[in-house]
Structure 1
Amino acid sequence: MAENGLNILLAEDDPNFGIVLKDYLELHDYHVTLSQDGCQAITAFRKGKFDLCILDVMMPGKDGFTLAREIKKLDTETPLIFLTAKSMKEDMLEGFRIGADDYITKPFDSEVLLYKIKAIMHRKSGAQVAEKPEVTEYSIGQYRFQYKLRLLHLNGETHKLSPKESELLRLLCQRLNDVMPREEALLRIWQEDSYFTARSMDVYIAKLRKYLREDPSVEIINIHGQGYRLCVHNGVML
């Protein structure tokens, strides 16, 4: 689960840019629903609950302005950020008239978008949004895992993990008894999803299985075509 806990609706008709932006936001712990046109986006908005919407202005079928008006009819409080390849004053004014909280002209610095999201959510709450404390220690069956120190403890013995082993085990812990998607781990840790990085991750999974084999209640299961699941049978992760 994303640490920020914010759900973002992203409406962007350029599939390549949309996927890149979605992955970037998810790497910063936001939940992102990507829609490739305005019709898909308004359907998603009706079905889900979103804390913020990022809308491309120029989309086929239903443009960003029309989409924004429909969103505002359903929920006047949801913040809106418009994305556009044009910097025309008339378009910007139209966006703000509809109720836009911000307006970003492509191309833009993705880091700037992150700060704009945080600023908007800060204004909406009326106070600085307190971030949840980072979890750095996990209990995995009989094991104790210290993520920051990269240490795995069992019965008085300690094993030092490599940086990638530690990052991978943390992702598995964050989804205890649930699937850790292969693509997410590859993008977060290796910054690339390819055949070779996937094979490398398989090697690291095998190493983690070796480290965790002393507790029979703990196992890492391969979920074919999806990823891996760290399971603790009759155990609780703290």
Structure 2
Amino acid sequence: MATVLLVEDEAALALIVQDSLAVRGFRVQHAADGEQGLRLFREHAPDIVVADVMLPRLDGFALAEQVRRENPTVPIIFLTARSQPADVVRGFELGGNDYLKKPFSMDELVVRIRALLGRAALAPPAPAASPELLRIGRYEFAYAQQKLRLAEAEVQLTNREAELLKRLHDQRNQVLERSAVLRELWGDDHFFNGRSLDVFVTRLRRYLRADPEVQILNIRGIGYKLLC
């Protein structure tokens, strides 16, 4: 039985979601604010997190950011009435896997939960930590530690930044297909995930800009190419 951590401060909605998930075979832990949600996450290690964005004490974005620091793989679904593209992109940048706008149907939420749990179950195990340093121009990329170094300067990458840079490195001087990256790292290649990927590529370009011999090119309609 999969455990869902539901973090929702609207009591009536939370009760409906809890009951609906319970009758569909899920175990549900409910928190009414972000701080309680983080505490329950640490205590119960849920299989998936479903969190409102507008929460008291610790909002959903801050909650997701902390969850991602502690667990890079647990699926996260945001529930929110906010639908501005910037909000959606930020949610994906922080490690969210899906974004469901209020009001929503319970059937749609359940389908999305099951889809994400299915992907998590099929995902390959994380690679063992390794001291290997990858070279990207003048940079050293410590993939296992998610760190990018140039001389004395060091950037601590997020999990998704490190995974994207690793794929670019492995396909260096060749085209990395956009759709493949979106399916592997975001779960699917719909529009909002594509916007989030563009943001991550822009960040990596900024991290690598001290070496003019390193470039990440857009290959229109196909993907990206790391030149180094």
Q: TM-score range by the shorter chain?
A: 0.5 to 0.7
In structure 1, which of residues 96, 100, 104 is the aligned counterpart of residue 96 of structure 2?
100
SS in 2 for 1:34: strand
Residue identity matched to 1:64 = G
Cα distance in 2 between the residues matched to 1:65 and 1:86: 12
Larger Rg belongs to: 1
Shift of 1:124: 1.4
8 A Cα contact 2:74 2:120, kept in partner: no
Q: TM-score, normalised by structure 1?
A: 0.51
Show the counterpart of 1:46. Answer: 42
User: In the alignment, which of 58, 61, 83 is matched to residue 62 of structure 1?
Assistant: 58
Instruction: Determine what percentage of the aligned residue pairs are the same residue.
Output: 35
* Residue aligning to 2:114: 118
Query: Does structure 1 conserve the Cα–Cα contact (< 8 Å) formed by 2:88 and 2:99?
Result: yes
> How much has 1:99 moved relative to structure 2?
1.0
Which one of 74, 85, 93 corresponds to residue 81 of structure 2?
85
Correspondence for 1:146: none
* Structure 2 residue identity aligned to 1:119: A
Taking the TM superposition and a 5 Å limit, the aligned residue runs for 1:1-238 are 5-126=1-122
**How many Å apart are 1:121 and its aligned residue?**
1.3
The 4+ residue runs of structure 1 with deviation greater than 2 A are none
Deviations 1:133-183 (A, max 9, x none): xxxxxxxxxxxxxxxxxxxxxxxxxxxxxxxxxxxxxxxxxxxxxxxxxxx
Separation in structure 2 between the aligned mates of residue 22 and residue 88 of structure 1, nearest angstrom: 27
- CA displacement 1:167-213 (0-9 Å, x = unmatched): xxxxxxxxxxxxxxxxxxxxxxxxxxxxxxxxxxxxxxxxxxxxxxx
Q: Secondary structure at the match of 1:13?
A: coil
Structure 1 unmatched ranges of 5 or more: 128-238
Q: 1:11: Cα distance to partner?
A: 0.2
* Structure 2 residue matching 1:108: 3-state secondary structure: coil
TM-score calculated relative to the size of structure 2: 0.53
Letter in 2 for 1:15: A
Q: Deviations over 1:197-230 (max 9, x none)?
A: xxxxxxxxxxxxxxxxxxxxxxxxxxxxxxxxxx
Deviation at 1:39, TM superposition (A): 0.7
Q: Distance in 2 between matches of 1:49 and 1:43?
A: 10
**Count of paired positions:** 123
2:17 counterpart letter in structure 1: L
State the 1:123 CA deviation.
1.4
